Amino acid sequence: MIIALGEFVEELREVGIPVSMVETIDCAQAIQYTDLASRENLRATLGATLIKSTRHYAAFDRAFDVYFGLEPVGGPPSEEEESLTSSGGQGGDATAGGGGGDDGLFDGLVNALLGGDRDEVRRLVSLAVDRYAGMQPGRPVGGRYYAYRTLRRIDTEALLGRLIAAMKEGRTEREIEARIERERAAEFVQQLRDLLEQEITGRLIADRGRRQVAHSRRLGLVEDIDLMHATRVEIEEVTRAIRPLARKLATRLSQRRMHGSKGRLDVRRTIRRSLGYGGVLIDPRFKAPRKSKPEIVILCDVSGSMATFARFTMQLTHAVSSEFSKVRVFAFIDGLDEVTAYFSPDIDFSDGLASMLREADIVRRDGHSDYGRSFAEMWERYSDAVTSRSTVIITGDARNNYRDAGIGSFERIVDRSRATFWLNPEPRRYWDTGDSVMSTYGAACDSVDQVRTLRQLEVFVERAALPVRRIRALDAGVTTRYG
């Protein structure tokens, strides 16, 4: 068990879930008081001791099913079964009709699910995998493919209909009863899917080993989703994660200001204090530090290639705006306009974003990014927004469509600011290729960072409230002054 736990913790760390050695020891001690015959009890014990965020439970469950899943009822198919499948026998991929062409198996699943006979359901699921999945030892195919082939032959829609019909047999149908029956039938079908997933996973483990199966089935964390290529479902997950992430960042920023350095040495008070110790400087005195909220000025490229990333940058910064004395947001494509008013606390972020895209004056010519024109307009119209207390954040890929970079205006903005950071979501290997002029702008910035995920964005926002000298010290030898 200790070996399995160690491998499981290592897998969690590979996924990106932080698990410390102390937490691992606590987990091992808690397992001593857990009924290991119950997988759900073990799952709850491991989750309670190793997982610190609800966002990580989906990836945790995926890894748990690999390392502590049920043993398969069947095993890897034999050579005879493989020849039967390849010759178009029972393992063929014919289309299904209400019962997948095997009424005995279909009826057996209906009866076992209705009767609550989990062992019989597992046996029938194993038989279905033997007949329909077409699993081959050593074949580099994931479990989803095998599950798809099996469920296609079983026909889960027909199964759902049969279950509903069987449950309402002999009863007068009322709306509330019909709804309950549909929900119960859906639960039975989901139970079948879960057992099928466990059976296929168990056979893959027997064939390839846990490490390889765990690696192929890893579920990425929401904070590691690539914001530039996120699907609609992933975008919704990131959006839900923004608010709690912002609260955590706001707490850290306020704690940093409350528990900052002691301030500069107060020489006069220190000398006066030393008189009580015979002139020995044993008790140094410090001046109270001036703790002020920094100002944030954000310039976001919202052109087509950057729209998704700009959305999350503005959303996260808007969510922590209460920790800054002033936040001003500017959007640009080939023209620049201030859009701060669209993201005030009393306006829903999605509504504000939609209004900005409709009303903001950010397209002047052809709708392609023009950084030089936008920086020139920023200096001419909004130079008062940048002061010695301002941290300027530019988000964009620095692809200027072979136009004038406007480096003079950009350098004037940088010289007036407290610090200037550039967040580029493109991989570093693509910087300065094609129409990218990242090095031209990066030479003037205090830091240039590749930011493609929420995890990287979180690290950056935490640094934004640090003293400039501290930021540069952290960046020394890494990304100070681009390069």
Instruction: Report the alpha-carbon distance of residue 103 to residue 73 in Å, rounded.
Output: 21
pLDDT of residue 94 exceeding 60: no
Strand 447-450 and strand 419-424: the pairing is parallel
Are 81 and 127 within 8 A, CB to CB?
no
Residue scoring higher pLDDT (127 or 170): 127
Percentage above 90 pLDDT, the chain? 16
Are 317 and 454 within 8 A, CB to CB?
no
Residue type, 255: Q
CA distances from 18 to 15, 121, 193, 297, 395 (A): 9, 37, 30, 33, 28
Please, which residues bridge with residue 330 across strands? 299, 338
Cα-Cα-Cα-Cα dihedral sign, residues 49, 55, 56, 61: positive
What does the mean pLDDT of the chain come to? 79
pLDDT band of 78, cuts 50, 70, 90: very low
pLDDT mean over 227-255: 70
Residues 6+ apart with CB under 8 A from 321: 296, 327, 345
**Which of the given ranges, 45-59, 310-324, 456-470, has the highest pLDDT on average?**
45-59
Residue scoring higher pLDDT (347 or 300): 300
Strand 326-332 and strand 336-338: the pairing is antiparallel
pLDDT band of 85, cuts 50, 70, 90: very low
Closest CA to 101 of 112, 88, 113, 111: 88
Sorted by where each begins, the domain ranges of the chain are 2-67, 79-196, 239-260+292-475, 261-290
CA distances from 318 to 55, 340, 353 (A): 22, 9, 12
Q: What angle do CA 329, 333, 336 make, to 5 degrees?
A: 45
Task: Give me the CATH topology for the region 239-260+292-475.
Answer: Rossmann fold (3.40.50)
Instruction: Report the alpha-carbon distance of residue 256 to residue 242 in Å, rounded.
Output: 21
Strand 326-332 and strand 295-301: the pairing is parallel
pLDDT at 373: 92
| Model pLDDT for residues 412-445, shown as the tens digit of each residue | 999 999 889 899 988 889 999 999 999 999 999 9
pLDDT mean over 207-235: 78
Tokens of 351: 């509504």
Instruction: Report the alpha-carbon distance of residue 192 to residue 297 in Å, rounded.
Output: 54
Instruction: Report the alpha-carbon distance of residue 214 to residue 63 in Å, rounded.
Output: 6
pLDDT at 470: 53
Tokens of 129: 């995998």
pLDDT mean over 293-301: 82
